[in-house]
Chain A
Amino acid sequence: MPETLAITINGSASRVAHGTTVAAAMMIAGQPTRVSVAGEPRSALCGMGICFECRAVVDGIPHRRTCQIFCQPGMVVETNP
């Protein structure tokens, strides 16, 4: 019964269930949350807002910890450069 909402991840549309974190949404879409200093793709590690690997650009603002942010309709998400 969960409803879905639409967000954009790196330019592509994604539908996720309400209550999905942005980190989970990016993982489902197969997109890394950020690119490391040496260019490695990274995703959430600790899941609790401590490791900062889940950082992504959310609605234009970089360095947002996506494991702590719930998807909202129309959100624009990009991999943190």
Chain B
Amino acid sequence: MKPFDVVVVGAGIVGCAVARECAQIGWRVAVVEGGVLGGGATAAGMGHVVAMDDSPAQLALTAFSRSLWGGEALPPSAEYESCGTIWVAADDEEMAEVESKLRLYEQAGIEARVLASEALAAAEPNLRAGLSGGLLVPGDSVIYPPAAAGFFLDEARRLGAEIFLARALSAAQGHVMLSGGLRLDAARIVLAVGTHCDLLPALPIQGRKGHLVITDRYPGFVRHQLVELGYLKSAHRVAEDSVAFNVQPRRTGQLLLGSSRQFGSDDPAIEARILERMIARATEYMPGLKHLSSLRVWTGFRAATPDKLPLIGPATGLSNDPTLWLAAGFEGLGITNSLGAARLLVDAMAGRRSAIDPTPYRPARLLEPARLAHA
């Protein structure tokens, strides 16, 4: 088999976006997926495209990615809705956080507007009375990620990319061995593997389990993606299990309800205790939720890095292998950042200038011998 310019391991939304980006510059692309195309965390999570301000680098990447999403001509199956996000403040203390959040967004050129208590109630009548208000970010949107991933992959396929439905048993020095015996040769190997790190044990990625519930159709019950301000505190916890109010309206009229975060678990079984806490938290903000019919409950695993920023770029520092590149560790922002990461990664591989500073996401930043377990 002729060598490829790049082999992308993993056909979640990040791998699919990378494959498309590579195919668009005329490279010979192979995509390897041992499970379901558009599966993994891509299938499990909420498709929330959101500007996230937990650090300047995260804000820059999500803002950049969000603008790329805005330029996509997605098919109807991707269910793209620019419904916006409302960050909900329960009390005055959280309203103060809303004000500082607004300033950060304004500086980054992201449109946002403070909603006082009455305006919040008007925007979302099913939220309970007595909330202090919120921050509306109209440029955020929601999508159905497996369809978006499928769309990117179809485009890559149309431009000549080849898909191998097989597990990658090893990926190093320009060779990817597949289950079934086939070997792919490439100048570059991109690992876009979610929480499956066996190909590069040095990857400092930990799975963070989340639970989700989807309801039957209740059109208009929720109009924006609603996230409590405490979400960021929950996302930053490193030790305890935590839950936060996070509900998304789907185009079908169904509601997707999250969110929970757990460490140190790789068991996909549903945990009644966490589920109960998550639903209880949600019904504190939106009492009417408790009567809605829930169709399905499931779990997924986010890929988390030590500093909460993804790994985008050459694997230097984690590996001596010059052919290895990473698009990994997106935690809860894989959907949003898939497009920005694909662009930045291919910029680095092709020697193009990037639209934003790529250094905060370079894997080498984590090169601290005391913290790493080398392969």
The answer to whether A and B touch directly, with their CB atoms under 8 angstroms apart, is: yes
A42 at the interface (CB under 8 A from B): no
Chain A contact residues, majority secondary structure:
strand
Interfacial chain A residues near B291, Cβ < 8 Å: 61
A41 at the interface (CB under 8 A from B): no
A62 smallest CB distance to B (angstroms): 7
Task: Give 1 or 0 for each of B245-289: 1 = CB within 8 Å of chain A CB.
Answer: 000000010000000000000000000000000000000000000
Interfacial chain A residues near B219, Cβ < 8 Å: 81
Interfacial chain A residues near B293, Cβ < 8 Å: 63
Interfacial chain A residues near B218, Cβ < 8 Å: 62
Interfacial chain B residues near A63, Cβ < 8 Å: 216-217, 293
Give the distance in Å from the alpha carbon of A81 to the alpha carbon of B216 in the complex: 12
B217 smallest CB distance to A (angstroms): 8
Interfacial chain A residues near B216, Cβ < 8 Å: 62-63
A74 smallest CB distance to B (angstroms): 21
Q: How large is the interface on A (under 10, 10 to 19, 20 to 34, 35 or more residues)?
A: under 10
B156 smallest CB distance to A (angstroms): 30
Interfacial chain A residues near B252, Cβ < 8 Å: 37
Task: Give 1 or 0 for each of A22-63: 1 = CB within 8 Å of chain B CB.
Answer: 000000000000000100000000000000000000000111
Give the distance in Å from the alpha carbon of A10 to the alpha carbon of B368 in the complex: 69
Interface residues of B in 277-318 (CB under 8 A from A): 291, 293
- A61 nearest CB neighbor, chain B only: B291
Select the residue from A37, A61, A62 with max chain B CB neighbours within 10 A: A62
- A52 nearest CB neighbor, chain B only: B216
Give the distance in Å from the alpha carbon of A62 to the alpha carbon of B252 in the complex: 15
B145 smallest CB distance to A (angstroms): 20
Interface residues of B in 6-41 (CB under 8 A from A): none
- B291 nearest CB neighbor, chain A only: A61
Give the distance in Å from the alpha carbon of A62 to the alpha carbon of B293 in the complex: 9
A60 smallest CB distance to B (angstroms): 11
Interfacial chain B residues near A81, Cβ < 8 Å: 219
- B292 nearest CB neighbor, chain A only: A63
Give the distance in Å from the alpha carbon of A63 to the alpha carbon of B219 in the complex: 13
Give the distance in Å from the alpha carbon of A59 to the alpha carbon of B354 in the complex: 58
Interfacial chain B residues near A62, Cβ < 8 Å: 216-218
- B219 nearest CB neighbor, chain A only: A81
Give the distance in Å from the alpha carbon of A61 to the alpha carbon of B219 in the complex: 13
Task: Give 1 or 0 for each of A52-79: 1 = CB within 8 Å of chain B CB.
Answer: 0000000001110000000000000000
Give the distance in Å from the alpha carbon of A63 to the alpha carbon of B374 in the complex: 55
- B218 nearest CB neighbor, chain A only: A62
Give the distance in Å from the alpha carbon of A63 to the alpha carbon of B217 in the complex: 9
A43 smallest CB distance to B (angstroms): 18
Interfacial chain B residues near A61, Cβ < 8 Å: 291
Interface residues of B in 209-250 (CB under 8 A from A): 216-219
Give the distance in Å from the alpha carbon of A61 to the alpha carbon of B218 in the complex: 11
Give the distance in Å from the alpha carbon of A61 to the alpha carbon of B293 in the complex: 10
Give the distance in Å from the alpha carbon of A23 to the alpha carbon of B109 in the complex: 55
- A80 nearest CB neighbor, chain B only: B217
Please list the residues of chain A having a beta carbon within 8 angstroms of any beta carbon in chain B.
37, 61-63, 81
Interface CB pairs A-B, < 8 A, 6: A37-B252, A61-B291, A62-B217, A62-B218, A63-B293, A81-B219
Q: What are the 7 tightest A-B residue pairs by CB atom distance, in nearest-first order?
A: A63-B216, A63-B293, A62-B218, A61-B291, A62-B216, A63-B217, A37-B252
